[in-house]
Amino acid sequence: MTDCPPLSPEPPDQAPPSSLPSGWRCRPASPADASAVAALERLALPDGKTTGSAESWARLLRSPSTQGLLVEDGLGNCRATCIWQAAAQQVELLLIAVHPAFFRKGLGGFLLDEMVAICRAQGAEVVFLEVAENNTPARQFYEKKAFVEIGRRPRYYRLSNESLKDAILMSLSLKGVMVNSPRES
Ligand SMILES: CC(C)(COP(=O)(O)OP(=O)(O)OC[C@H]1O[C@@H](n2cnc3c(N)ncnc32)[C@H](O)[C@@H]1OP(=O)(O)O)[C@@H](O)C(=O)NCCC(=O)NCCS
């Protein structure tokens, strides 16, 4: 299994607003990227207890319904990833994670826009996701990207300090159709 080289600590000098910096690239994620995806998730998520293992990401990435994208810098280091599952015109966003050294430089927005464009081209009608109620940056990120809150799963996430947090369910209609909950449209 070939993985991306280890993450280097220095952020780039210039920020990529809506496209990638020169020399960076975005490519499909494969099962061989599972360790890099798990490492990015662990680094990026505010509470590591809710993260998946490399094995679980490899299993998911082997599934024909799972797709993903990975952003690499000019040296081939993985800097951001986005993984989703699609079935019956419905998409579930499983993970979007940016290396913390590159937060707020447009990488997350770039990946989400790419994912939405791919899903739209494949005929998807709606994207669903779940986000912990205390993950304010992610909630603001999704709101900026026009996701709307459609429900809650009470006490869904157990954090490493053993506190329980609600999951906020959000959706983005790709067809201008209101969708209230997953798998009910
Ligand atoms: C959420 C996440 C993917 C956003 O990626 P990013 O590359 O940092 O975000 P972007 O630079 O594309 O931001 C786009 C917009 O989202 C909003 N946003 C992003 N981070 C924010 C923050 N920390 N606080 C407030 N708003 C934020 C802003 O409106 C921002 O636009 P602006 O910078 O012009 O104001 C990234 O912070 C991340 O990986 N977080 C940890 C993992 C995680 O929580 N994933 C979601 C789990 S459901």
pLDDT of residue 96: 97
Mean pLDDT value of segment 135-147: 97
- The residue behind tokens 């509470």 is 47
> Ligand 1 mean position to 1 CA, how many Å?
31
16 lines ligand 1 (CB under 6 A): no
**pLDDT above 50 (res 16):** no
In whole angstroms, what is the distance from residue 119 CA to residue 122 CA?
Answer: 5
Question: Higher pLDDT residue, 2 or 96?
Answer: 96
Picking from 150, 144, 157, the residue whose alpha carbon sits closest to that of residue 126 is 150
**Residue recorded with tokens 């952020």:** 11
pTM for this one?
A: 0.88
Q: What is the pLDDT of residue 51?
A: 74
pLDDT at 18 over 80: no
Judge if the beta carbon of residue 52 lies within 6 A of ligand 1: no
Cα-to-centroid distance, 3 and ligand 1 (Å): 25
- Beta strands 78-87 and 66-72 are antiparallel
Q: Measured between alpha carbons, how far is 156 from 147 in angstroms, rounded to an integer? A: 20
Q: Which of 73, 103, 129, 172 to mutate to test the pocket of ligand 1 (most atoms within 8 A of CB)?
A: 103
Question: Would you give the DSSP letter of residue 34?
Answer: H
The CATH superfamily of 25-173 is: Gcn5-related N-acetyltransferase (GNAT) (3.40.630.30)
pLDDT digit string, tens, across residues 155-172:
988 888 888 999 999 999
Domain boundaries defined on the chain: 25-173
179 burial class (0-12, 13-18, 19+ CB within 10 angstroms)? buried
Is 156 a pocket residue for ligand 1 (Cβ < 6 Å)?
no
- Give pLDDT tens digits for 71-123: 999 999 999 999 999 999 999 999 999 999 999 999 999 999 999 999 999 99
Nearest CA among 161, 162, 165, 159 for reference residue 133 = 165
Q: In this predicted model, which residue has the larger pLDDT, 18 or 115?
A: 115
pLDDT in tens, 20-71: 989 999 999 999 999 999 999 999 986 765 678 999 999 999 999 999 999 9
Q: Kindly calculate the radius of gyration of the chain based on its CA atoms and give it in whole angstroms.
A: 16
Average pLDDT over residues 130-146: 96
Find the 167 Cα to ligand 1 centroid distance in Å. Answer: 18
